[in-house]
Structure 1
Amino acid sequence: FHGIDMVTADDRRWPQGQYGLPTRNGKLKEVDRFDAAFFNVHPKQAHNMDPQLRLLLEVTYESICDAGINPIKLKGTKTGIFIGASGSDAQNAFSSDPQTLEGYSMTGCATSMFANRLSYFFDFKGPSYTVDTACSSSLLALDCALNALRNGSCDAA
């Protein structure tokens, strides 16, 4: 919208020119910045956590606050979490060296655990799952949330 090209060519994630890897792509800046203590995540686990999950935690918290809701008031409620997620290279990147694997590092990279991490942090008691249907993941997650609200599985989603 502002005429800024967000697709860059740099070596922030991998060396330029490697066979099979794109030369230009969109990357998150400061991907390692995350308030682990605020989200009750051990620093070692946060270091090996998929950046998508870090953003999901942050944006979910911000969204609840932006809606004028105190997140503490949602604690223990029958709130459902339905996440649409797809592939990520984080799991491969963080598990490439077996010497650096931490006890719970893989749960921070498994997209299947994204919804559960949110439910755990906010102490939500409704359904909690991540769906992966490639390009339609978010649409299916929205459909699942609507169905759960209709059938009474949760009071909010």
Structure 2
Amino acid sequence: MAADEGVRARLARGGLTPLDPGVAVDVLGAVSGCETVVDVDWGRFVPGATAVRASRLWDEIAPGAGMAVERAEPAGDGGLHKRLAGLSGAARRSSLMETVRGRAASVLGFTEATAVDVSKSFRDLGFDSLTAVEFRNALAAETALTLPSTLVYDYPSVEALTDELLTRLFGATEDDVPAAVAATASPAATDDPVVVVGMGCRFPGGVASPEDLWRLLADGVDAMGGFPADRGWDYIRDTGDGYARVGGFVEGAADFDAGLFGISPREALAMDPQQRLLLEVVWESLEGAGIAPLSLRGLPVGVFAGTNGQDYPALLALAGESGDGYAGTGSSGSVLSGRVSYALGLEGPAVTVDTACSSSLVAMHMAAQSLRAGE
């Protein structure tokens, strides 16, 4: 297959049909301010574009298109299952792996399945959201299984996906599970120490508690609002200059009972608002769980906090305020967890995680690991 034919085939599978150059130029000339002109098969394109993260944008552009592939039942009569059932454990896994490898190669446009490294991540192989959905559909038809659109993200290599499909088709057996995986498999927990007993939160839209958040979501409240008047911001007013005049702002971010936490007013000023809000929501979480916050002093209680980005020092400097003596602890993201531990007298692990958008999830994961390990 010639290179240009391969590109056309790849685009068509993703729902994009190359336009005739003459037609494209005419349309561009007729539409002012248009950056892209494309002939889209929405039924193919939208499921891929929303495979990992849903977007209401497509509901407006192509209503219903995102449901065409996602909710379709897989085709096929389970012939693969019958063929694999007659093989031994090792041969069964090898045969299924070649099937998965072949489908991956086909979706990516490789002529030979050997071009796909079975241990390499699908992301590194070149998969995107569109090819991920196409690959999922092909395997669903082949296996007659209902598979998620996030398949390549949940099981990120041919090897990992093969083992998952093997389990779904036949159930886990000692022969089917690789020795390395079996050796590291965790036993089923019989008394899991990880439970959620209290929550606290702050969100735009006047949300100051989990109950507020539930009401906001249940009632469909628009959390966007005008600029707050309690920050001392010299923002651009309605002068027709095109600046945004609404946003998602946390109410009461400037309010902080420093004395409750044994913090002086000067030190509170130097503290990043993230630290202040974290102290407040931790206190409220404990109270919500029926635990007196200060009763934990001296106990092996851990704090795991997720954070991402600190710009408060620059804002403090622009405001002409001085954080001398407290600037280091007040503006450092790594201090977040330690701030809570120090204020409440906790003696367990204190870990601050910054993995960008996944910070909170990673912090929760590490906290659960710490509990299970008895730390």
Please tell me the TM-score bracket, short chain as reference. 0.7 to 0.9
| Correspondence 1:16 to 2:266 | no
**Structure 1 residue 9: Cα displacement:** 4.1
Aligned to 1:33: 255
1:48 Cα deviation from its structure 2 partner: 2.2
TM-score (norm 1): 0.83
Alignment of 1:125-144 (within 5 A): 125-144=347-366
**What residue in structure 2 maps to residue 100 of structure 1?**
322
State TM-score, norm by structure 2. 0.37
Partner of 1:111: 333
Q: CA deviation at 1:73?
A: 2.3
Q: Are residue 77 (structure 1) and residue 299 (structure 2) matched?
A: yes
Deviations 1:69-119 (CA, angstroms, capped at 9, x unpaired): 122321101111000111133232123467723211331222210100000
Partners of 1:138 and 1:81 lie apart in 2 by 12
Q: CA deviation at 1:50?
A: 1.4
Q: Structure 2: 5+ residue runs without aligned partners?
A: 1-215, 238-242
Q: How far has the Cα of 1:44 moved from its partner?
A: 0.6
CA distance in 2, matches of 1:14, 1:132: 31
CA RMSD of aligned residues (A): 2.4
User: Does the 8 Å CA contact 1:10/1:16 hold for their aligned counterparts?
Assistant: no
For each residue in 1:92-150, what CA deviation from the matched residue of structure 2 results, as whole angstroms up to 9, or x when unmatched? Answer: 21234677232113312222101000000111111101101111000100111111112
- In 2, the alpha carbon distance for the partners of 1:3 and 1:142 equals 28
- Contact 2:269–2:323 (CA<8 Å) still a contact in 1? no
More helix by share: 2
Aligned equivalents of 2:358, 2:234: Cα separation in 1:
28
Helix, strand or coil: the match of 1:82?
strand
Residue in structure 1 matched with residue 265 of structure 2 by the alignment:
43
Once residues 129 and 78 of structure 1 are traced to their aligned partners in structure 2, the CA distance between those partners, rounded to angstroms, is 14
Letter in 2 for 1:34: F
- The one-letter amino acid paired with 1:114 is L
Tell me the matched-pair count.
151
Equivalent of 1:89 in 296, 311, 316: 311
CA contact (8 A) 1:44 1:102 kept: no
The secondary structure found in structure 2 opposite 1:38 is helix
Amino acid at match of 1:63: S
Cα pair distance change 1:14/1:88, threshold 3 Å: farther
Counterpart code for 1:16: I
Please give the alpha-carbon distance, in whole angstroms, between the structure 2 residues aligned to 1:68 and 1:15.
42
Shift of 1:28: 2.4
Tell me whether 131-140 or 92-101 shows the greater mean CA deviation: 92-101
Moved more, 117-126 or 3-12: 3-12
Deviates more, 1:38-47 or 1:26-35: 26-35
Cα gap change, 1:80/1:91 in structure 2, threshold over 3 Å: closer, same or farther? same
Deviation at 1:16, TM superposition (A): 2.8
Residue 282 of structure 2 corresponds to: 60
Q: Which residue of 2 aligns with 1:122?
A: 344
Q: How far is the alpha carbon of 1:32 from its aligned partner?
A: 2.1
95-104 vs 58-67, greater mean Cα deviation: 95-104
Deviates more, 1:28-37 or 1:80-89: 28-37
Q: Give the distance between the partners of 1:67 and 1:109, measured in 2 at CA.
A: 30
Partner of 1:5: 222
Counterpart amino acid of residue 133 in structure 1? T
CA 1:131–1:22 in 2, change beyond 3 Å: closer, same or farther? farther
Fraction of identical pairs, as percent:
38
